Structure 1
Amino acid sequence: MTETDRTSRHVPQVVFACRANGGRSVASRLLTEHYAQGRVVAISAGTEPGDHVHPEVAAVLTDLGLDTSRESPKLLTTEMIATSDLAITQGCGENCPYVPGARYRDWPLDDPKGRGRDEVRRIVADIDGRVRELLVELVPDLELPPSVVTGR
C-alpha cells in the first residue's frame, strides 16, 4: 500500500455513549483503540458524566494492559454523534441526543459501577467481544491482535 492510499482511506469514527462515561464507554474506547491500531477513531462520552473512571473498571482494564490514566468523563454532544460514522449506546436511554441521519446501535451491557472484580471482568469481556466484531465490520482487512481478555 502506498502512502497516498493510506492517507486517502477513510478512518471510521465511533462514539461510545453511556450515562456516566466512567465504565462501559471507557472500556469500549480503550479496547477499540488498542485493537484498531490507528484505523478507527474511538470517542467515549456520557449523558451525565461523572468525575472519574470507576476505580473497579480502571483496575480491570489496567490488569489487561490498558492505560486509563488519561481518561476523564466527557459530556456527550450532538456534534460527537453527527461527526461519527456510528454511535453505540450503552445504557444512556432516552437521554442520548438524537441526530437525524446518524447511525445508532445499542449494546445492552450491565453497568460495572460498584461491582466486584469478577463481574467487572465479565462485563469487560463482553465489551471486548463486541468491539472485536465491530472492528471486523468496520475495517475488514484489519488483522486483529489476540484478545487482551482471552489471549485468542
Structure 2
Amino acid sequence: MAAGRMTVLFVCVHNAGRSQMAAGFACALGGDGVDVLSAGSEPADRTNPVAVAAMAEVGIDIAGTQPRVLAVDDVRASDVVITMGCGDACPVFPGKRYEDWALDDPAGLPIEQVRPIREAIRARVEALVADLAP
C-alpha cells in the first residue's frame, strides 16, 4: 500500500458479478487514494456478461476482469474487506475493517434486474470512498 492509500478488497462467492461491479466503481471513484482487489470464495470461470453490460451502461469497463480465488494474502494486504454473501469463507485478521453488504446475486438475472443491484453497489461504494478520503 502506498503512503496515504487504502486497500479495499471486495469478496463474493463467484467473483463474477457483485464484487467485480464494486471493484469497477471503486477504481473509477476512488482515484489515487484507493487500491482495489476483488476475489471469490468459489470463483466462476468468467465475469458475468450481464454485469459487464450493466457497468458498460455507466461508462465503466469490467470486460477484462477475470474471477480469481480469494487468497489469505489479499485479506492481509487490505485495510477494508467488503464481503457480499460469502459467509465465513473470508479469513479475519485483527485491525482490519470488515463490512458485509447484503446484495442480491446478479447471476442468471436479466439486465433489468441487474441495474438496481448495480445502483445499490454504486451507492455503497460512493459512501465507502467518501468515508476513506483523508
Q: TM-score per shorter chain, which class?
A: over 0.9
Distance 2:129 2:25 in 1: 10
CA distance in structure 2 between the partners assigned to 1:60 and 1:103 by the alignment: 28
Rounded Cα–Cα distance in structure 1 between residues aligned with 2:44 and 2:55: 18
Alignment gaps of 5+ in structure 1: 1-7, 141-152
Q: Which residue is equivalent to 2:8?
A: 14
Q: What does residue 65 of structure 2 align with?
A: 71
What is residue 49 of structure 1 aligned with on the other side?
43
Identity %: 37
Greater C-alpha Rg = 1
Match of 2:112 in 1: 118
Superposed CA RMSD: 1.3
TM-score normalised by structure 2 residue count: 0.94
Please give the secondary structure, in 1, of the residue aligned with 2:33: coil
1:89-100 equivalences under 5 Å are 89-100=83-94
| Shift in Å, 1:99 | 2.6
Per the TM alignment, residue 45 of structure 1 is displaced from its structure 2 partner at its CA by 0.4
Which of 126, 129, 133 pairs up with 1:135? 129
Cα distance per residue 1:46-96 (max 9 Å; x no partner): 000111111111111111111122200011111111111010000101222
Q: Which residue of 1 aligns with 2:74?
A: 80
- Alignment match, 2:27: 33
Structure 2 residue corresponding to 1:59, chosen from 53, 56, 72: 53
Q: Does 1:24 align with 2:18?
A: yes
Runs of 4+ in 1 over 6 A off after TM superposition: none
Of 33-42 and 13-22, the range deviating more from structure 2? 33-42
The count of residues paired between Structure 1 and Structure 2 equals 133
